[in-house]
Amino acid sequence: MSFFKKIFSKEKKETLDKGLEKSKENFFGKLSKAVAGKSKVDDEVLDDLEEVLVTSDVGVKTTIKIIDRIEERVARDKYLGTSELDKILREEIAGLLSETGSGEATDFVVPSKKPYVIMVVGVNGVGKTTTIGKLAYQFKKQGKKVVLGAGDTFRAAAIDQLQIWADRVGVPIVKQKMGSDPASVAFDTVQSAIKQDADVVIIDTAGRLHNKVNLMNELSKVKRVMQKVVDNVPDEVLLVLDGSTGQNAFEQAKQFTAATEVTSLAVTKLDGTAKGGVVIGISDQFQIPVKYIGVGEGIEDLQVFNKNEFVDSFFKKSI
């Protein structure tokens, strides 16, 4: 590993540790209450642990899986002290995540076929536009030519906001007037990307979900119309979820994955929340990989989700 790479990953790790600070405080606070005065992992400790996991937004299904594993271990090891509980929990959670169907996530790898088209979906305010800006920045740093498409034509401010990100990153944007057809914007964007010989296209979309049928129709139309320019696009449909909404993020993931074909997930706002456990539940329960996590509002605050690093950081007490 090069010197710079080492420095970079150390910094990355620190951002992740810092980003998860609130979640960790919350989790360890509850965990130490659950084991206070106990020397042995007994049924009562397990009940309390179950509550800690559920209230940390790991989700009921994943919590049950984790508790089952710990129970098995208690039965096997007979006498399991509470001092080892941290370590065992960490091992079991890491084990569980490595077995999930979503596999080991990597960042988006731009293929040689151009353009690589990413459509970004999700409800209002989850962080779609911000994530697009951060992603564009990462691609640009890799030397890729990026074009953004302002497919959220629902609000004028949405177009302006994407423009601000485009300027900040220094990439071109294709946009039309507010109220215009998002599919037409997507069409123009892909066409313009081909003309410019761009590597990556990222399309923003509006986040209305009050009518699932409408949303599904609109997203399929955007896809269909883009396919008039290039076959088999989009290459990725990235669903953005706001981690600070906890269980709501699970619901959104369920609804969106049922309504449209989602290929990857990004979970944002993990810095401002005590609900970081949501990422553990989401990566366990959906067959779609969590690729990115957002740990701040800045341009650099998007990280590739690495399960092991995440679990390590989540369980690291020293902040």
By CB under 6 A, name the binding residues for ligand GTP.
Answer: 122, 124-130, 152, 158, 161, 207, 268-269, 271-272, 294-297, 301
Angle, CA of 126, 129 and 135, to the nearest 5°: 110
- Region of 156-164, 185-193, 250-258, 270-278 interacting with Mg ion (CB under 5 A): 156-164
Structural element, H or E, at residue 117 = strand 116-121
CB of 205 to Mg ion, least distance (A): 9
Rg of the Cα atoms in the chain = 21
Angle of helix 307-314 relative to helix 3-19, nearest 10 degrees, comes to 50
Question: Of the two residues 128 and 269, which places its CB atom closer to Mg ion in the complex?
Answer: 128
Please choose which of Mg ion, ligand GTP, none residue 124 contacts, taking the beta carbon within 5 to 8 angstroms, the exact cut-off set by kind.
Answer: ligand GTP
CB of 177 to ligand GTP, least distance (A): 17
Q: Which residues pair with 26 in a beta bridge?
A: none
Q: Compute, in degrees rounded to 10, the torsion defined by CA atoms 154, 157, 159, 161.
A: -140
* Residue whose entry in the numeric block shows the structure tokens 């490595």: 98
Q: DSSP alpha helices (H): ranges in the chain? A: 3-19, 21-35, 43-55, 60-77, 85-99, 128-141, 156-169, 182-195, 212-226, 247-259, 277-285, 307-314
Question: Of the two residues 92 and 218, which places its CB atom closer to Mg ion in the complex?
Answer: 218
Question: Of the two residues 128 and 291, which places its CB atom closer to Mg ion in the complex?
Answer: 128
Dmax over Cα atoms in the chain, in whole Å?
68
CB of 12 to ligand GTP, least distance (A): 14
Q: Compute, in degrees rounded to 10, the torsion defined by CA atoms 273, 87, 289, 142.
A: 80
CB of 214 to ligand GTP, least distance (A): 15
- Region of 100-108, 120-128, 166-174, 183-191 interacting with Mg ion (CB under 5 A): 120-128
129 binds Mg ion (CB under 5 A): yes
State how far the Cα of 97 lies from the Cα of 290, in Å rounded to an integer: 11
Question: Of the two residues 54 and 274, which places its CB atom closer to ligand GTP in the complex?
Answer: 274
Q: Would you call the peptide bond into 234 cis, given omega within 30 degrees of 0 as the criterion?
A: yes
CB of 27 to ligand GTP, least distance (A): 19
- How many chain residues touch Mg ion (CB under 5 A)? 3
State how far the Cα of 32 lies from the Cα of 192, in Å rounded to an integer: 56
Question: Of the two residues 198 and 239, which places its CB atom closer to ligand GTP in the complex?
Answer: 239
Pull the structure tokens for residue 63: 């919590």
Please choose which of ligand GTP, Mg ion, none residue 130 contacts, taking the beta carbon within 5 to 8 angstroms, the exact cut-off set by kind.
Answer: ligand GTP
CB of 230 to ligand GTP, least distance (A): 25
Please choose which of Mg ion, ligand GTP, none residue 147 contacts, taking the beta carbon within 5 to 8 angstroms, the exact cut-off set by kind.
Answer: none
Question: Of the two residues 110 and 240, which places its CB atom closer to ligand GTP in the complex?
Answer: 240
State how far the Cα of 24 lies from the Cα of 304, in Å rounded to an integer: 19
Question: Of the two residues 34 and 279, which places its CB atom closer to ligand GTP in the complex?
Answer: 279
CB of 111 to ligand GTP, least distance (A): 26
Residues that bind Mg ion (CB under 5 A): 128-129, 158
